[in-house]
Structure formats: structure tokens, C-alpha cells
Amino acid sequence: MTDIRDRFSTIGQRDLLEILKSSQERLKTMLIKILFGVLIGGAIGAVLGYVGKCSSGACPLTANPYRGALYGAALGALLAWVFSAAPKQSPTPPEEEPAPAKQASEVPSKDAETAEEDVETSDVVRTDSDAAIETQTPTAKGSSLMESLTKDSFLQKVFNYEQNEEWKFEGELPCIVDFYADWCAPCKMIEPSLRELAQKYQGKLNIYRIDTQAQQELAAAFGIQSIPSLLFVPLNGQPQMARGALPKETLEKVIHEVLKVE
């Protein structure tokens, strides 16, 4: 089966990396401030412990230089963290966002014969009415704003790769396509954030979900090897792919900067 990714110039490499890079810079700055806080606090504590020398030994900072340095370093780190994190409340994501990519779960592979049997069986059993019902079935916890897609509905609402060689978005609103599986823990972690975003941007953005176990052809066509994988599709331009359970703040930044939705 042709890998659809070969038809894209790039999928989620430059724009998303820029977003993550800015977050890494903020994390680096915060860590430097905390390190200075530890050094300065430890030095002040050590001096107080050396000069004070509390006779009872019950004074944390002045009992001895070692205890003074330890408590001073802890207080310095705490103050540095408070002053570097508390004043700013920008929409940029917290600095842990590179980590979630490591939370992606590997999609279990089947041999070719088994996969073909699954596809053939699903084609025989599923009728057009069944596909329509499945398309309209809400996701977990009654979220009717996130629509589950089959191959047929994906071709109609996102990209008809059977008729078009070049990328052509079929939708009227930008969308996010979440490739997931019911057994995937990181997929369950990101689902509440997607549900909240679907509510917040209702009428401006569509969020679709594709079960990689039920829709193996779609997963194979996009070369999905780890989940969750998120396909960000703007109205104009190429789609962008990201992997891992991205934080809600990162998802919102991608919605603003890549999908151009406010």
C-alpha cells in the first residue's frame, strides 16, 4: 500500500519543532535561574552556618556550615522557581512538552496475511448503513464533538487519497485527526484535552478520531507506527503530523500557529 506521507513535502517537522524549540528555551532559562538560586542560597546558608554556629544545634541555617548550605540551597531553589514561573502566564506550553513524545505506544503489527484477512472480512460484514452509524458514534464519555472516522468518512471529510495524488483537503474547517487505540494509555491521557478543545473551538475546528485497530488501512496508509499520532490539517497548505501525548497548552499553540484558528 502506498504511504500517503510520500505525497507531502514535510509532515510536522518545521512548524511543530519551532513550537517545541521555544518551549525548550524557556525550560533552559528556568533551570539556569534555579541553579543560580541553589548556588547563591547555599553560599549564604553556609556563611550563616559558619558565623552563627547555633549552640543548641536546632537552628537549620546556623547550626553548622553544612546544614546552612543545605537549607540555603533548598530555599534558593524554591525562590528561584517561584520568581521564574509565577509571574508569566503566557499561552506557551510548559517546558515538559518534548517528553510526551516518548510516551507514544508502539502499534502492534500483524503479518500481511492476517491484515489482508481483516480488511476483507470488514469489507464483507460492514454495510453502508453500518459505516454511517459508526461514523456518527460519539467517543468515550459521550463526547459528541469528536467524530470517529471510518475509511469512507475520512475520504469524504479529510483527504480522498484514492482519487487525488496531491494533497487536497476535503473539509470546510481546519481539523485534527487523532490516531489512537483503546488499549493505549497515552491516548487516554490526551483524550480529555482533545475533548475540551473540541468544546472550546466548536464551529471553528473539527477533531476526528481514528481507531488504528479498526481502521488498519488508514493507519497503514499514513505509516502510523506509534500512537497517539496527531494529524493537524489547516484549510490551506500541507498537513502536519506530531507523535505523543502533547500537553493541552502545546495543542492550543499548534491550533493558533499551524491551523490559524483563534
Lookup: cell for 262: 483563534
Among all residues, which ones are annotated catalytic? Answer: 184, 187
Structural domain total, the chain: 2
How many whole angstroms separate alpha carbon 88 and alpha carbon 91?
A: 9
**Residue 15 maps to a domain:** no
| CA-derived radius of gyration, the chain | 25
Which of 174, 190, 214 shows the shortest CA–CA distance to 105? Answer: 190
Q: pLDDT tens-digit profile of 171-196?
A: 999 999 999 999 999 999 999 999 99
- Rounded distance, CA 38 to CA 44, Å? 10
pTM over 0.75: no
Q: Which domain holds residue 108?
A: 99-257
**Sequence-ordered list of residues with C-beta below 8 angstroms from that of 163, at least 6 positions apart, any chain:** none
DSSP letter for 1, please: -
Cα–Cα distance, 55 to 67 (Å, whole number): 14
- 173 and 74 in a common domain: no
Q: Domain check: are 132 and 191 in the same one?
A: yes
Q: Are residues 146 and 241 in the same domain?
A: yes
Taking the C-alpha atoms of residue 257 and residue 72, their distance in angstroms, rounded to an integer, is: 42
Residue 9 lies in a domain: no
Tens digits of per-residue pLDDT, 28-87? 777 888 887 788 877 887 777 777 666 665 666 566 677 777 777 788 778 877 776 654
Residues 173, 78 share a domain: no
Q: How far apart are CA 192 and CA 91, in angstroms?
A: 18
What's the grid cell of residue 106?
508502539
